[in-house]
Amino acid sequence: ILIISAWNYPAWTLFQPAVSAICAGNFVVFKPSEVASKCSAVITKMIQEGLNTSYYKVYEGGPEVC
């Protein structure tokens, strides 16, 4: 499951759909908004420290990442 967050609510639009995806047993790729770079850094740190990185990946950056 690819989840791309919006710039105006970066945490909400990333984690709200992730709850359902994780509960359903899916692999999840998170793409925080590059416009909210400070939030993106915090979100990346939270995911890398809190979730198994074998199943959950985070990609930071702009359109060149996708």
Tens place of pLDDT per residue across the chain (66 aa): 999 998 888 889 999 999 999 999 999 999 999 998 899 999 999 999 999 999 999 999 887 876
Distance of CA 21 to the CA centre of its chain: 12
Helices and strands, number each (H, E), in the chain: 2, 3
| pTM assigned to the model | 0.85
SS3 11: helix
Q: What pLDDT shows up at residue 66?
A: 65
